[in-house]
Amino acid sequence: MATKKFIPEAWKQQWSKFMVTFFDYLPTKYEANKREWAVRKMIWDFKEGKRSVKVAELVAKRMREQFGAEVENVTLVCIPASSAAKTETRYKVFAEEVARLTGCENGNRGITIEGERLAIHETRTSKRLQSVEVIRLDKDYFQGKYVLVFDDVLTQGHSYARFACELEKVGAEVLGGYFLGKTICGYDN
């Protein structure tokens, strides 16, 4: 009998907030049509810092539509990538451009990515050591901020929920999340 995963109530509360996705992202294990390949390439390019301005324009437009004049009271915070270097490549220009286009605050200044530590990642069949970086959130900075979380791809939502909960622990009010892509399963024609 399969064991049921424990999902924290705080995560469920995060998932009940708005979660806007811009594109459906079909994993490479599925055959893709021309449009799906274009979305894949756009997301991969964004991850490499190549489409920061175009994606910023898309996100800024949606933020202005959703928040109107109140967008100036929103703090955009990007979920850090797997390393400090990847985070900077992926989000520095993007977040600065969204802030410029909307008047929102670029909340990445409240995040520090510190030196590496070893972490054990376990699956059902194996354990492996991996070097990870420690994310620090500035409690003084985030206290009382209205935060919009951004991530490149939403799959199950665990990273979003975990990160949103951490932001709330330091005093932010997470409004919801925007995601460039949402992972979908393949389908039969």
Domain that holds residue 129: 9-183
Per residue in 94-130, pLDDT (tens digit) is 999 999 999 999 999 999 988 665 556 566 676 776 6
Give the total number of structural domains in the chain: 1
189 in a domain, yes or no? no
Residue type, 1: M
pLDDT at 3: 61
Radius of gyration of the chain (CA): 17
Q: Which tokens go with 131?
A: 């070097």
Neighbouring-strand partners of residue 132: 117
147 in a domain, yes or no? yes
Considering only CA atoms, which of 11, 10, 37 is closest in space to residue 24? Answer: 37
Close Cβ partners of 143 (under 8 Å, ≥ 6 residues apart): 170, 171, 172
> Which H or E run contains 150?
strand 146-154
Quote the pTM value.
0.87
Dihedral angle over CA of 20, 13, 78, 5, nearest 10: -100
pLDDT more than 90, % of the chain: 74
- CATH code, domain carrying 52: 3.40.50
pLDDT at 188: 46
pLDDT at 6: 84
